Amino acid sequence: MTELTPLPPSIESLTPEWLTAALRNGGALPEGSVTSFGHEIIGEGIGFIGTVARLKLQYSGAGPEAPATAIAKLPSEDPGSRMVGVAFGLYEREVRFYSDLAGDCGLPAPKPYFSHYDAGAGQAAIILEDLTGGAFGDQVAGASLAEAELAIDAIGAFHARWWESPEFARYPWITSGIETIRQPIQLMYAAAWPVAMERFGYVFPEELRPLIPDFGRRTMAALDQMTLGPETLVHGDYRPDNLFFGAPGGARPLVACDWQSPGKATGVVDAAYFITGSMEPADRRKHEDDLLRRYHNQLLEGGVKDYSFDQLKTDFRGYFAGVIAGGVVLLGTLPEGNDRGRRLIESSMNRFISAMQDHDSWPCCPSSHGPPILRFHTAPRPASAIVAI
């Protein structure tokens, strides 16, 4: 897509002229122009790094293909959130996804009308189709079994397509998802954990609180173990608030949004994140094994070999030590935005901690007293595991 700079720094700074050029750039407005528009902020208490608004567009001389509404996504106006988005490449990565992969990545995504990142200004702007004929999931309420099955089937097929794929070489911006997790924990954990404890310390069981100062260091060692497993393309924030569930029988039963965190990692990162963070503990305990079986079956049907269900279960258990031990603490430092934002953070932390307890994942996290009792993988990824797409 052609550049349209300078990019608008906020929703309020959008203009009819800029929107006309952006929609024309993506082919959504071959004739006519935007004369005026209204907007409403959406997703408050859902996302923390970006500002998302629905635009209601009025035109002059436009054809019937011109969208009546569109979604505008810009970096957060919160200075701390914006700094995180720039420092860890979240804005740039999402722009590149929509520019390079959205149309044929193997997991339905919204159609982009415009996407560009200005590295000098640390500014991004994305204009997307407004999804209709369904509804987004609700992470605070928790995913239903039907939603979970649909989400797991979709992510399993997506992971199978990208499993150890040579296609990664075409997209140098797709970097290690493990490093995307590691960097904020490594850089921010020492300053973050006291803040998280002050705000959400009551969420952590009494017996775990003395261990929290050391979670960051121990998580680094556990992440090293995760890098030994087979890699695929992961979404990175696969949860109900980022999933649009279409009407039954529709052309797109599920559309995955919020592509700020795609990277190369073991597929269990997405599967475990969804199952344990998106379902109430009682529902997760009841359906967890069946959902993991569905996920593994999708991998097998997609051509993945040399990855047993037992290994998946081992990786699933170890995921909590490799990601959540440190990550759940950083979660407790995110800006709440509103009451729903706080409930989202609190419910997610409760669910992740519950899963860690159920799976006795603490021993997987290396300590100064010796190696972990569980190792995710014992050998580097075999070249024979590559599956063509």
Q: Are strands 232-234 and 263-265 parallel, antiparallel or unpaired?
A: antiparallel
Q: Is 303 in the same domain as 323?
A: yes
CB 19 within 8 A of CB 306: no
Residues 120 and 153: their CA atoms lie apart, in Å, by 40
Inform me whether the pLDDT recorded for 366 exceeds 80.
Answer: no
pTM score of the predicted model: 0.86
**Residue 115 maps to a domain:** yes
Q: Is 147 in the same domain as 280?
A: yes
Mean of the pLDDT values across residues 327-341?
65
Inform me whether the pLDDT recorded for 374 exceeds 50.
Answer: no
Check residue 183 and give its pLDDT.
75
Write out the E strands in 89-122: 112-118
Which of the residue ranges 26-30, 249-253, 328-332 has the most confident prediction, judged by mean pLDDT? 26-30
Q: Edge-to-edge strand order for the sheet containing 134-136?
A: 134-136, 243-246, 254-256
Residues 200 and 210: their CA atoms lie apart, in Å, by 15
Q: How far is CA 362 from CA 133, 214, 277, 321, 357, in A?
A: 43, 12, 17, 6, 8
**Residue 23 maps to a domain:** yes
Mean pLDDT of the chain: 85
Exposure of 133 in the CB half-sphere (CA atoms within 13 A): 11
Supply the CATH number for residue 62's domain.
3.30.200.20
Which long-range contacts (C-beta less than 8 Å, at least 24 apart) are formed by 17-20? 19/55, 19/57, 19/127
Question: What is the DSSP secondary-structure string of 148-195?
Answer: HHHHHHHHHHHHHHHTT-GGGGG-TT--BHHHHHHHHHHHHHHHHHHH
Q: Read off the amino acid at residue 229.
A: G
More confident residue, 225 or 291: 291
**Residue 5 maps to a domain:** no
Q: Is 107 in the same domain as 222?
A: no
Q: Is 305 exposed, middle or buried (0-12, 13-18, 19+ CB in 10 A)?
A: middle
List pLDDT tens digits, range 162-208.
999 999 999 999 988 777 777 777 777 888 888 888 888 888 888 77
Q: Is 138 in the same domain as 111?
A: no
More confident residue, 389 or 154: 154
Q: Is 54 in the same domain as 139?
A: no
Q: Is 124 in the same domain as 215?
A: no
Q: What are phi and psi of 191, to 5 degrees?
A: -85, -25
Helices 215-226 & 309-319, crossing angle to 10 degrees?
160
Inform me whether the pLDDT recorded for 121 exceeds 90.
Answer: no
Q: How confident is the model at residue 94 (pLDDT cuts 50, 70, 90)?
A: very high
Exposure of 99 in the CB half-sphere (CA atoms within 13 A): 19
Q: Is 267 in the same domain as 223?
A: yes
129: helix, strand or coil = strand
List pLDDT tens digits, range 44-79.
544 557 889 999 999 999 999 999 999 999 998 877
Check residue 21 and give its pLDDT.
95
Residues 3 and 97: their CA atoms lie apart, in Å, by 16
Residues 14 and 38: their CA atoms lie apart, in Å, by 10
Answer with the one of 129, 159, 174 that is the final residue of a domain. Answer: 129
Maximum separation of any 2 CA atoms in the chain, in Å: 72
37: helix, strand or coil = strand
* Token pair belonging to 118: 């200005």
Answer with the one of 101, 129, 157 that is the final residue of a domain. Answer: 129
Q: What are phi and psi of 213, to 5 degrees?
A: -60, -25
Domain range for 81 is 11-129
Answer with the one of 81, 114, 129 that is the final residue of a domain. Answer: 129
- Structural domain count, the chain: 2
